[in-house]
Amino acid sequence: MQTNPVIKLADIHKVYHTGEVDVHAVRGISLEVFPGEFAALMGASGSGKSTLMNMIGALDRPTGGNYLLDGIDVSTLDRDALADVRNEKIGFVFQGFNLLSRTSALENVEMPMLYHRHRIQSHEQRERALHALDLVGLGDRADHHPNQLSGGQQQRVAIARALVNQPSLLLADEPTGNLDSQTSIEIMGVFQKLNDQGITIVMVTHELDVARFTKRRVILRDGKIVTDEPVQNRSFGEKELQQLRAAQQAVKLAS
C-alpha cells in the first residue's frame, strides 16, 4: 500500500512503575495500520494488548518509542491535546457499551460533538447524530434510553457515538464481550459494513471466532507481537447469521 498509515507504531515501550518492581507491559512493538484495514489485536490476559490499545487510543502515552496517528506524533502531546486527538481522530467502542444512562440514544451520540474544538450548531449535531444512528440501523430508536434497548442495540448506539465525529480510526475493545453469539455476529456484521465503506477498524478480542470476521490478526504475547497475518477463511456477518438461523430452525429454537 502506498498511502500513509493511520497508525504507525515504532518500537513502542510501556513500563509501569508500580511499587518496587517495574512492570514492562509492552516491550518494543512496531506496527502499521493502513486506511481501510480491519485488524484484530489478540492475546491472553497480561499479554499487553490492553496497554497497547490504551496507547493507540491516545488514553495513555508510551514510555518509549514513537506513535504517529494520522501523521500526528501522539507520544509527545499533553493531556488536553490528547483529549482533542481522541475527540477528532478516534472513535471508541467498549465492551460494557459505556453509554450514559437516563440519556437518550440521540444525546449519547451527540455527546462527542459537545467537546469538539469547533463549535457545532445544535441542529447540525442532531442531524449528524441521526445520520450515525441510521448507519448502525437504529434511526427509529433515537429517543429511547439505554435501559429501553437490548445489549446489541446499546452497542450499536456506542458505535454510532464512535462514528459521529468522522474519526480516522475506530477502536473497539472486546465489543462482543457482553453479547450473546447471535448478537455478536450482528455487531461484527455492522463493523464489516462500516469497514466496507472505508472506515479503519482496530479491535481487541480474545475470541478466535470473532477475529475471523476481521481481515488481519495481530497476536501479542509478553508485550511483543508474535503473529501478524491476514485472516484466512473470513466469516461474513450475513452468511453466519443465515447459518445460525438454519441451525436454530433445525432444532425449532426459532421459527
Report the interface residues with other proteins, using CB under 8 A: 54, 57, 59-60, 79-80, 83-84, 86-88, 92, 94, 98-100, 102-103, 111-112, 114-116, 119, 161, 165
Residue 27 Cβ vs other proteins, minimum distance, rounded to whole Å: 20
Which is nearer to other proteins, 43 or 91 (by Cβ)? Answer: 91
Closer by beta carbon to other proteins, 153 or else 235: 153
Which residue number, 160 or 211, has a Cβ lying nearer to other proteins? 160
Q: What cell was used for 250?
A: 433445525
CB of residue 161 to other proteins, shortest distance in Å: 7
DSSP-derived 3-state class of residue 143: coil
Q: How far is the CB of 243 from other proteins (least distance, A)?
A: 35
Shortest distance, CB of residue 91 to other proteins, whole angstroms? 8
Q: Which residue lies nearer to other proteins by CB, 91 or 237?
A: 91
Q: Which is nearer to other proteins, 178 or 182 (CB)?
A: 178
List CB contacts of 52: < 8 A, sequence separation 6 or more.
12, 14, 26, 29, 41, 220
SS3 content of the chain, % helix, strand, coil (to 5): 40, 25, 35
CB-side neighbour CA atoms (13 Å) of 191: 36
| CB 192 within 8 Å of CB 29 | no
Instruction: Tell me how far, at minimum, the Cβ of 117 lies from other proteins, in Å.
Output: 9
**With contact defined as beta carbons under 8 Å apart, do 47 and 24 qualify?**
no
Grid coordinates in use for 19? 511499587
**Smallest Cα–Cα separation from 242: which of 169, 200, 186, 158?**
186
